């Protein structure tokens, strides 16, 4: 490996990646190299949620160009420059490694160029794709691809297959950089990604473009740049409403994720360090002990792991590492290792899922949901309330596949105390578990995905028969926004048509007695309705009251249905004169409607 070779500073020579030991083991040559404890540039970009700061990008690019310039000055072609071969230290020093296919340029190579096609397809140059000779300018093309990827968090050239990728490279078809970066940085990308290798800048020229003045040199103190943000964690003490910082955490820490339960807390940093504190009675903190930890402490057993995400529940923790492998810690019943498992105070690999690529994990109080790359879901732990979406309300000791409605693919989710909600790729929400207090916003039970929601009926919203106004050609209706159990009966009621030519009504003094009789009957019915409303209001707050009011309403409904059945057997109303045929007995003020319309 080679790092920043600023030859004007003799101390920089000590920052080359040195070979520690060389030896043979079982006939195989073994080389121990200096350890880069910050991971690779590819890992840094993969876990970045937001675009990198331009100052950070330029700083790392200066180091890469400086190292490549040193290689070319010593007649070495790297030929496999890519983000996975750029190593980082915790102090943000860049080291270029993996010289497995590098080539020393002899006199013939310097004159005619190399011809062997090697390297990673995403970063190979157009001249290598076309099969012609190439030189150190191919390394500069790869640096342009790396710089583009740092600015956009995606590769400069992509394709569904190798021919499509090669065609994209040969035509230099890449999307222009649109991030919040200066025109100088965008210009460097354009210059490095020139189709003609002669037009590309050399490594020293690229250095001048990136570093116009000497004050852009990296500080040798090893400290992080000022543009990098850091995090301070505080604990809120609710009874006194006071904040206190978490003790013993590093002063310069950048938090990626915090996961906590009522027993303990785990903190994941952007440097792939995992800290834990709290109750450790089941070993859920991963320290190899079962004693309580009062302040933040580094989990040494996971140091150096590429941790993607974490999840914690009551007395257990789950860690999702690179390539979707899972490690579990803590109480045996939630480790996913079967009924015979025992509490573990150190991370244990979940071998059952080694062939699965886990994308996300979500932990409830006593259950775990894992989302796979293909959109499928696995679950284990407590299913007491159906929170796993599995067919039996028992405890599942091993990861079990969850069958989704209509085979939907899941992309996101959340797990709570006794419930789970999942989001599918088509935007559907799937709920599982307890619906206490209607927290899942469900109205009906669908298998084991939800408990039934109790619905309170709003009887006070039922319209008064006197206040309701009939619309032409329709029955009396209820407000569209009011949902009652009588709506279906109204919608299914039969409408008896009345010819408008037969609705003429003549009035004279002879109908006064008829009006008085109708008014008396109307008042009697209204008193009965008012009494029923009063009884409903008194009984509304008790279960027994609900049952009584439903019984009363059912009897009224049967009465209406009996009248409806009788009317269906009757002939349509004849042409009538109010003097001879009495209609609207209940509502005489409605002159142009029949009693049939109002009752239904």
Write out pLDDT tens, residues 96-139: 887 666 565 554 444 444 444 445 788 888 888 888 887 888 88
Q: Please give the residue range of the domain that contains residue 258.
A: 234-438
Pick the more confident residue, 442 or 507: 442
What b/e sequence results for 57-76 when a residue is b if at least 16 CB atoms lie within 10 Å of its CB, and e otherwise?
bbbbbbbbbbbbbbbbeeeb
Position 496 pLDDT exceeds 50: yes
Q: Looking at the structure, do residues 172 and 274 belong to the same domain, yes or no?
A: no
Whether 275 and 386 map to the same domain: the answer is yes
CB-based contact 383:368 (threshold 8 Å): no
Whether 469 and 522 map to the same domain: the answer is yes
**From 37, 59, 80, 517, active-site residue:** 80
pLDDT of residue 325: 86
For 264-314, the DSSP string reads EEEEEETTS-EEEEE--TTSTTSSSS-S-EEEEEE-GGGTT--EEEEEEET
Domain identity same for 139 and 264: no
Higher pLDDT, 66 or 230: 66
Sign of the Cα pseudo-torsion (251, 255, 257, 258, in order): positive
| Torsion of the alpha carbons at 148, 79, 101 and 17, rounded to the nearest 10 | -70
What does the alpha-carbon distance between residue 170 and residue 163 come to, in Å, rounded to a whole number?
10
Structure-model confidence comparison of residues 509 and 433, the more confident one: 433
pLDDT of 22 reads 66
The domain total for the chain is 3
| Distance (Å, whole) CA 36 – CA 27 | 27
Work out the mean pLDDT of the chain and round it to a whole number: 74
Please list, in sequence order, all residues whose beta carbon lies within 8 angstroms of the beta carbon of residue 474, skipping any fewer than 6 positions away: 495
Is 369 found in the same domain as 325? yes
Q: Is residue 267 part of a domain?
A: yes
Stretch 49-54: mean pLDDT, rounded?
Answer: 87
How far does CA 391 lie from the centroid of its chain? 25
Which pLDDT value is given to residue 599? 37
Answer yes or no: do 197 and 273 share one domain: no
Q: What is the DSSP string of 104-125?
A: E--HHHHHH-B----S-GGG--
Same-domain check for residues 281 and 319 = yes
Give the pTM. 0.45
Residue 44 forms part of a structural domain: yes
Residue pLDDT, tens place only, 234-250: 888 888 888 888 888 88
Residue 545 confidence (pLDDT): 62
369, β-bridge pairs: 362, 379
H or E element at residue 363: strand 358-363
Asked whether 94 and 62 are in contact (CB, 8 A), the reply is: no
Q: How confident is the model at residue 551 (pLDDT cuts 50, 70, 90)?
A: confident
Half-sphere exposure of 483 (CA within 13 A, CB side): 3
| Helix (H/G/I), strand (E/B), else coil: 96 | strand
For residue 194, what is the domain's CATH number?
1.10.510.10
Nearest to 594 by CA among 561, 566, 572, 579: 572
Sign of the CA dihedral running 83, 85, 88, 92: negative
Told to judge if 80 belongs to the known catalytic residues of this protein, a careful annotator would answer yes
For residues 268 and 416, membership in a common domain is answered with: yes
- Distance of alpha carbon 48 from alpha carbon 84, whole angstroms: 15
> Do 207 and 115 fall within a single domain?
yes
């Amino acid at each position: 490996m080679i790092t920043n070779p600023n030859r004007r500073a003799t101390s920089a020579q000590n920052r080359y990646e040195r070979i520690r030991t060389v030896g043979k083991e079982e006939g195989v040559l073994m080389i121990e190299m200096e350890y880069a404890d910050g991971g690779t540039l590819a890992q840094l970009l993969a876990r970045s949620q937001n675009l990198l700061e331009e100052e950070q990008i330029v700083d790392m690019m200066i180091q890469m160009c400086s190292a490549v310039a040193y290689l070319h000055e010593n007649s070495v072609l790297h030929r496999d420059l890519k983000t996975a071969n750029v190593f980082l230290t915790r102090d943000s020093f860049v080291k270029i490694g993996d010289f497995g296919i590098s080539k020393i340029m002899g006199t013939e190579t310097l004159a005619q160029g190399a011809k062997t096609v090697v390297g990673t397809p995403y970063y190979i140059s157009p001249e290598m794709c076309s099969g012609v000779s190439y030189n150190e300018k191919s390394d500069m093309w790869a640096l342009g691809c790396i710089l583009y990827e740092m600015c956009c968090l995606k590769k400069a050239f992509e394709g569904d297959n190798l021919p499509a990728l090669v065609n994209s490279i040969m035509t230099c078809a890449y999307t222009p950089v649109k991030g919040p970066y200066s025109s100088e940085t965008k210009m460097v990308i354009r210059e490095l990604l020139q189709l003609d290798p002669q037009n590309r800048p050399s490594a020293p020229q690229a250095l001048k473009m990136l570093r116009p003045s000497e004050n852009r040199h990296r500080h040798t103190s090893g400290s992080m740049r000022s543009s990098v943000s850091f995090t301070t964690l505080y604990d809120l003490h609710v009874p006194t409403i006071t904040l206190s910082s978490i003790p013993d955490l590093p002063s310069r820490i950048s938090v990626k994720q915090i996961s906590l339960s009522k027993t303990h807390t785990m903190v994941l940093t952007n440097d792939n360090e995992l800290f834990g504190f709290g109750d450790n009675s089941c070993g859920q903190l991963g320290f190899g002990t079962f004693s309580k930890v009062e302040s933040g402490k580094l989990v040494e057993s996971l140091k150096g792991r590429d941790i993607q995400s974490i999840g914690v529940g009551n007395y257990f923790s789950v860690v999702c590492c690179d390539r979707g492998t899972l490690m579990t810690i803590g109480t045996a019943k939630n480790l996913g290792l079967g009924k015979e498992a025992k509490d573990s105070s150190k991370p244990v690999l979940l071998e059952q899922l080694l062939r699965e690529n886990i994308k996300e994990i979500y932990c409830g109080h006593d259950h775990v949901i894992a989302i796979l790359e293909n959109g499928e879901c696995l679950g284990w732990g407590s299913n007491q309330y159906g929170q796993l979406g599995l067919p039996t309300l028992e405890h599942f000791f091993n990861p079990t596949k969850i069958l989704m409605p209509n085979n939907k693919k899941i992309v996101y989710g959340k797990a709570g105390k006794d419930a789970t909600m999942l989001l599918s790729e088509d935007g559907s929400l799937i709920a599982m578990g307890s619906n206490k207090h209607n927290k899942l916003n469900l109205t009906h039970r669908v298998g084991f995905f939800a408990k039934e929601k109790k619905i309170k009926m709003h009887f006070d919203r039922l319209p008064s028969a006197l206040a309701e106004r009939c619309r032409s050609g329709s029955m009396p209706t209820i407000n569209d926004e009011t949902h009652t159990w009588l709506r279906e009966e109204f919608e299914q009621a039969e409408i008896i048509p009345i010819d408008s030519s037969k609705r003429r009504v003549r009035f004279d003094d002879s109908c006064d007695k008829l009006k008085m009789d109708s008014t008396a009957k109307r008042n009697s019915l209204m008193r009965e309705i008012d009494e029923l409303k009063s009884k409903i209001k008194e009984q509304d707050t008790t279960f027994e009251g609900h049952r009584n009011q439903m019984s009363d309403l059912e009897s009224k409904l049967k009465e209406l249905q009996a009248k409806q059945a009788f009317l269906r057997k009757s002939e349509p109303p004849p042409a009538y004169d109010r003097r001879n045929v009495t209609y609207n007995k209940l509502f005489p003020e409605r002159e142009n409607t029949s009693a049939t319309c109002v009752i239904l």
